[in-house]
Structure 1
Amino acid sequence: MIKMELEKLLSKMEMEGVIHGGSEVNEAMVAVSDETRSLCTQLNNGVYTNEQIRHQVSQIIGRELDEGFSLFLPFTADFGKNIKIGKNVFINSGCRFQDQGQIIIGDQCLIGHNVVLATINHDYNPLNRGTMHLKPIVLKENTWIGSSSTILPGVTVGENSIVAAGSVVTRDVAPNTIVGGNPAKFISNLEDKIK
């Protein structure tokens, strides 16, 4: 197996935005993913305090988490090392993060049960289906992602916004709005709901 330094791998993934099947980058990504799956399995098959969960998730993402971070298990990350989490973030149970394209979660975000954050699209050409196209997902500060929602590659959810439960978000969400449905569409401005 070809070894590649993690920082070099992350840089190539961000700069190139594509991983070709069988490439050196693909092999390095798979090696990191193997380690992450093992860490997630360990996390999801034990009984831990909040502090222990924070420590284990910090190992998965390769960054220290603040004391306000909270996660209800189970949790799954495909790659792990391309997740950035702000302060006072809550992630409910059953979430799945496909983070090869990068997931950035701002301060004070709430993520409901069974949310999928997917940063990969496979190539449209059936002969190149093993090629992965990467685009980041950004959840700005104070966003609330409702249960069983899916956020697709390249989407930014603006600050303070709400994604209604069960939504499939295919494009950016404006700040201070509520969206819902499949595909998610504008429902209302946040100020119309605040009394």
Structure 2
Amino acid sequence: MRSLNKFLGLRKALVRLKWLYFTKVWGMDIDPTATFSLSVRFDKTYPKGVHIGAESYVAFDAAILAHDMTRGLYLDTWIGRRCFIGARSVILPGIRIGDECIVASGSIVTKDVPPRSIVAGNPATVIRSDIEVGPFGRFTDAGQPNRLARFAR
């Protein structure tokens, strides 16, 4: 069986180049320890309004918006540290996502998200609070036996 791990170095280099492009050319505020998919969509109409904290991850096809042309809004959008933004989710302009949050795939975030929460849906609502995550929004007990026990209530 062949592994794709041999391409991880190439992917890391491409993400670093894209980070340089987003931060130096467009002026976005993305922490150097944050990472993202190569297909992520950061707002380039108001790029200075995009802020992503340390050790956060933004998955593929997620859109982080900082402007709304229909209402003439240009607002800063903040993603805290150690967050995970799921695939194809949309973060609307002016939203503040607290530290250590998880945004489920396909969610449309229309309101601020309190720290240490999981949100999901359209519009996104809090489905769990007081979660514990590590870097990139990964559960601290991920990969350990009985990790699903935390959901059995």
TM-score, reference length from structure 1: 0.57
Q: Paired residue for 1:97?
A: 42
Partner of 1:33: none
What is the root-mean-square deviation in Å for CA atoms of aligned residues?
2.3
- CA 1:97–1:142: 2 relative to 1, 3 Å: same
Residues 159-191 of structure 1 deviation map (CA, whole Å, 9 limit, x = unaligned): 001001100001100000101000000101143
Partner of 1:54: 16
Q: Match of 2:98, as an amino acid? A: G
Alpha-carbon contact 1:109-1:141 (below 8 Å) kept: yes
Q: Which has the higher helix share?
A: 1
Alpha-carbon distance change, 166 to 59 in structure 1, aligned in 2, over 3 angstroms? closer
Alignment of 1:72-111 (within 5 A): 81-99=26-44, 100=46, 102-111=49-58
Offset at 1:102?
0.8
Residue of structure 1 aligned with 2:107, choices 164, 167, 171: 167
**Structure with greater Cα Rg:** 1
Deviation of 1:104 (Å): 0.7
User: How far apart, in 1, do the equivalents of 2:54 and 2:86 lie?
Assistant: 17
Tell me if structure 2 keeps the 8 A contact 1:161–1:190: no
Q: State the distance in 1 between where 2:15 and 2:39 align.
A: 15
Change (3 A) 1:106 1:61: same
**After TM superposition, where is structure 1 displaced by more than 4 Å over at least 4 residues in a row?**
192-195
Deviation at 1:53, TM superposition (A): 4.7
1:134 maps onto 2:41 in alignment:
no
Aligned residues: 124
Tell me, which stretches of 5 or more residues in structure 2 are unaligned? 1-9, 133-138, 142-149
Pairwise CA distance, 1:118: 1.0
Q: Specify the alignment match of 2:5 in structure 1.
A: none
Match of 2:122 in 1: 182
Question: Is 1:120 aligned to residue 67 of structure 2?
Answer: yes
